[in-house]
Amino acid sequence: MQSAKLVSYLKAISKKKLFYVLAAVALCIAGIFFWKAQSQPAAAIEMIPLVRTAVVGAAGELKSYTYAGEVRGRYESQLAFQVAGKIIKRNVQLGSVVNAGDVLLEIDPKDLKQTVNSSSAQVRSAESQLKLTESNLQRYRQLYSQNAISQAQLDQYENAYEVAQAAVQQASAQYGQSSNQLDYSRLYADTSGVISSINAEAGQVVSAGQTVLTIVQNGEREVEISVPENRIEELRTALQLTISFWALPDLKVNGKVQEIAPMAASTTRTYQVRISLLNPPPEIKLGMTAAVSLTSAGNQNVNLTSIPLSAIYQTNDMPGVWVVTDHTAHLRPVQISGLDNNQMQVTGLLPGEIIITAGVHKLREGQKVRVSDGDRQ
């Protein structure tokens, strides 16, 4: 009985050991598979890059540019007093219409009047001295005719008379100058026009030659614009200039280049250009905001195309351009003909083709690319 129980116990222990062994083997096999799975590299996922593109345009196509400007007068006079003083009266306002001879500003004439009075007194004094020397000269001439005095004495009185005459002329000239100074206390309009700016107010002390206001003469009207230096030649050869006005949206006027500043402005580094308006209607007023649109012809060689400089991909001595066809990049060899305002003039491309303009050195032949909707034209 005891032996049968022992055999049964031993069989139970053998079954447990076999279970544990099989479980350990299964865990080892699972661990091996897991380790292999982790040690194998993940399949590379190809990323399709998003590229910046441009549509090729012919170099000979017409180009349009627009510049903002302001309506100005053809002739503008900056007026100033010829004497210094304190402004006591202003007779015009900004935009006032004036005629030639109108008094625009006045300065205090008190000191100038005193100068005139002093000059007048000097004239009277010189004239009295002249009368005295003239009387003495006449008496001494009679004495000389009677041989009562010598020639030397007569010469002295003749010389005194001439000095008195010169003194009268000097005093008269000073009186005339002071009278002119008094007249300069009023600033007159030298021509008919419109007051476009006022730089001084009543009560302000101004110096001689200081600009106090600007008058725009009646007549021609122009638009002043600022043009960068790389557009000057295109402006000179523009086929057409059209001026539109923000306040008059339905009005368009043709124009022509009147003058181009010989030097660029020191602050903006742009050139001031005056565009003359051809047959402007009367509703165009000074100071209006205008937009000058010009159409210029590019290179008339139809075999040339214009592309950005960043689109060129150089391989050894052969320049090329990445052309996008069916969302695939293909390298196209091109011939460079010149550089114009950061635009390459090349042959080998057709107008309307899509080229890649950024990151060209990171692409490979036949690579799939994505084109953003904003770059499609």
The count of C-alpha atoms lying within 13 angstroms of the C-alpha of 182, restricted to the half-sphere facing its C-beta, is 16
> What residues have CB less than 8 Å from 288, skipping those under 6 apart?
70, 71, 245, 246, 247, 248
Confidence of residue 8 (pLDDT cuts 50, 70, 90): low
Specify the DSSP class assigned to residue 262.
S
What pLDDT does 357 receive? 86
pLDDT of residue 20 exceeding 70, the answer is no
Architecture of the domain spanning 53-61+301-375: Beta Barrel (2.40)
What tokens appear for 306 in the block? 């214009």
Architecture of the domain spanning 76-108+185-215: Beta Barrel (2.40)
Confidence of residue 79 (pLDDT cuts 50, 70, 90): very high
Task: Calculate mean pLDDT across residues 333-356.
Answer: 80
Specify the DSSP class assigned to residue 316.
T
Domain(s) of CATH 2.40.420.20: residues in the chain = 53-61+301-375
CA distance linking residue 23 with residue 19, whole number of Å: 6
What pLDDT does 66 receive? 86
Does domain 110-183 fall under CATH 1.10.357.10? My reply is no
pLDDT of residue 361 exceeding 90, the answer is no
Pseudo-torsion of CA 170, 176, 180, 183, nearest 10°?
A: 150
Domain(s) of CATH 1.10.287.470: residues in the chain = 110-183
What pLDDT does 35 receive? 55
Query: Read out DSSP for 107-149?
Result: E--HHHHHHHHHHHHHHHHHHHHHHHHHHHHHHHHHHHHTTSS
Q: How many CB atoms lie within 10 A of CB 30?
A: 10
Tell me, yes or no, if the pTM score tops 0.75. no
Amino acid at 203: G
> Among residues of the chain, what percentage have pLDDT more than 70?
81
Please provide the size of the chain in residues.
377
Strand-pair partners of 275: 223, 257
Domain(s) of CATH 2.40.50.100: residues in the chain = 76-108+185-215
Task: Calculate mean pLDDT across residues 322-341.
Answer: 84
Centroid of chain to Cα 69: 10
pLDDT of residue 172 exceeding 90, the answer is yes
Residue corresponding to tokens 């066809």: 325
CA distance linking residue 173 with residue 161, whole number of Å: 19
pLDDT of residue 163 exceeding 90, the answer is yes
Query: Read out DSSP for 68-97?
Result: EEEEEESSEEEEE-SS-EEEEEE---TT-E
